[in-house]
């Protein structure tokens, strides 16, 4: 029942997902190109990369940073057959995780733990999946639980989520109701510092059936993640509603998710190695509200993004037309420093690099120009502020230049407030 229980795609029971897959296959198949030319160009590029690597042995040229990052650490996607549940075989990994408990968590441990933690009732149809020895995989258990008021599917998945990351934050952040309708959603901090989101929603966002899905997502301060789902039906999908609500109320659901037994098991799952790309590192202040606080006076805000870390925008108007201002805040960007800045970039006394660009917009709006101030501190924290002479990159220009000057953009980009 967990979404990720099977290796094969697990979306066939939602008609929209099946349609989307079908539409993507049709759209994808319609693209074609000169494959021979593309293949030849790829090999030529490979030879160039190799020459650069060989040159770098003598310190002459550095390998392009992006290639180097993707290089040594590519994790091969694995199927689930074969090795799952067996101890890690030494020597098969380039960089084996050194923890002693790397044999992972077994299916049986998961099922036994879930049964033990449920209140009084009967259980049936137990299934699960061990974590295996591959890092980053979750372990799951699912079963049908009946407290006497009707059978209900319950599942648990556990894994490790790096604490303090965008990923950890998103996991326990209530979704926007625009996207997912629900009856209630709360995020609370428990006494031990764990954060738990309780979401009382529906199996289908369009509520085509009355199947309710109640979820607890819990993350401990050290990144142990426990996800519990329960339904008011014996199966997640394609089973009749068997009771008014799922069996565990908010308190019982929280207790189940917060049980220390899960944390012990999470610790036995091998952890992912970080590959250095800052996919999940989007710390810093919420972007949209910070940007709003840094705007010069005299600008009306006429459009805005949601307020998240990493990226945000405002559409402002000084009375002469809409102007999109957007900001990216990133960390860990030192590996691409040479691709973003060159000898023409300004260097501040503290080592921060600043580059200014005036260029056409990237998304094809007619006459759109983009003014950018790109900045990066010596420790790889990057703030990029771009302003457009249009309210949208896709729409035609509404004015001659953006509503902010380069000097104003520079002041915004260099504000210490992004890191508070």
- Residue 33 or 148: which CB sits closer to other proteins? 33
- Residue 175 or 286: which CB sits closer to other proteins? 175
- Residue 121 or 341: which CB sits closer to other proteins? 341
Smallest distance, other proteins to C-beta of residue 30, A: 6
The Cα–Cα gap between 54 and 308 comes to 42
Smallest distance, other proteins to C-beta of residue 2, A: 9
- Residue 68 or 295: which CB sits closer to other proteins? 68
What the block records as the tokens of 393 is 């990159």
First-residue to last-residue Cα distance in the chain: 42
Pairing of the two strands 353-360 and 182-189: unpaired
Smallest distance, other proteins to C-beta of residue 128, A: 14
- Residue 136 or 150: which CB sits closer to other proteins? 136
Among the listed residues 168, 274, 182, the one whose alpha carbon sits nearest the alpha carbon of residue 227: 168
- Residue 46 or 119: which CB sits closer to other proteins? 46
Helix (H) or strand (E) holding 4: none
What the block records as the tokens of 158 is 């556990």
- Residue 43 or 61: which CB sits closer to other proteins? 43
Exposure letters 389-405 (e unless 16+ CB within 10 A, then b): bbbbbebebbbebbbbe
Smallest distance, other proteins to C-beta of residue 419, A: 19
Query: Sign of torsion, CA 66 67 73 79?
Result: positive
The Cα–Cα gap between 212 and 202 comes to 4
What the block records as the tokens of 378 is 């010596």
Smallest distance, other proteins to C-beta of residue 32, A: 7
Smallest distance, other proteins to C-beta of residue 122, A: 29
Query: Sign of torsion, CA 346 347 349 352?
Result: positive
- Residue 10 or 147: which CB sits closer to other proteins? 10
- Residue 242 or 287: which CB sits closer to other proteins? 287
Give CA 252 to chain center in angstroms. 28
Contact 204, 190 (CB under 8 A): no
Look up residue 226 and give its DSSP letter: E
Instruction: Please list the helix, strand and coil fractions of the chain in percent, rounded to the nearest 5, in that order.
Output: 25, 25, 50
Residues contacting residue 267 through CB under 8 Å, at least 6 positions apart: 101, 224
The Cα–Cα gap between 382 and 353 comes to 9
């Amino acid at each position: 029942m967990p979404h990720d229980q099977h290796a094969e795609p697990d979306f066939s029971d939602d008609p929209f997902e099946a349609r989307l897959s079908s539409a993507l296959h049709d759209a994808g198949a319609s693209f074609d190109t000169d494959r021979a030319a593309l293949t030849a160009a790829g090999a030529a590029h490979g030879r160039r990369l190799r020459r650069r690597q060989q040159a770098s042995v003598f310190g002459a040229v550095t390998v392009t940073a992006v290639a180097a990052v993707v290089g040594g650490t590519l994790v091969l996607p694995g199927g689930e057959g074969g090795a799952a549940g067996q101890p890690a075989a030494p020597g098969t990994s380039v960089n084996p995780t050194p923890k002693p408990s790397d044999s992972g968590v077994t299916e049986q441990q998961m099922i036994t733990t879930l049964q033990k933690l449920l209140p009084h009732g009967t259980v049936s149809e137990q299934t699960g999946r061990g974590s295996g020895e591959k890092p980053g995989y979750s372990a799951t258990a699912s079963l049908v639980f009946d407290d006497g008021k009707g059978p209900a599917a319950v599942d648990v998945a556990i894994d490790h989520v790096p604490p303090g990351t965008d990923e950890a934050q998103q996991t326990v952040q209530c979704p926007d109701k625009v996207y997912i309708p629900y009856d209630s959603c709360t995020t609370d901090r428990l006494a031990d510092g764990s954060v738990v989101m309780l979401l009382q929603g529906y199996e289908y966002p369009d509520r085509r059936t009355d199947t309710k899905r109640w979820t607890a997502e819990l993350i401990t301060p050290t990144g142990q993640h426990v996800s519990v789902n329960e339904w008011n039906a014996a199966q997640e999908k394609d089973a009749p509603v068997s009771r008014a609500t799922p069996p565990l109320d908010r308190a019982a659901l929280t207790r189940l998710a917060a049980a220390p037994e899960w944390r012990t098991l999470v610790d036995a799952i091998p952890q992912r190695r970080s590959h250095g790309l800052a996919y999940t590192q989007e710390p810093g202040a919420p972007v949209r509200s910070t940007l709003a606080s840094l705007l010069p006076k005299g600008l009306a805000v006429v459009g805005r993004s949601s307020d998240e870390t990493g990226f945000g925008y405002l559409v402002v108007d000084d009375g002469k037309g809409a102007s999109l201002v957007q900001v990216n805040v990133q960390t860990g960007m030192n590996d691409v420093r040479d691709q973003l800045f060159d000898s023409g970039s300004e260097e501040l006394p503290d080592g921060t690099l600043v580059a200014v660009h005036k260029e056409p917009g990237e998304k094809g709006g007619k006459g759109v120009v983009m003014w950018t101030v790109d900045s990066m501190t010596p420790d790889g924290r990057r703030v990029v502020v771009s302003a457009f002479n249009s309210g949208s990159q896709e729409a035609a220009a509404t004015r001659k230049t953006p509503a902010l000057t380069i000097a104003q953009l520079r002041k915004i980009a260099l504000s210490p407030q992004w890191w508070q």
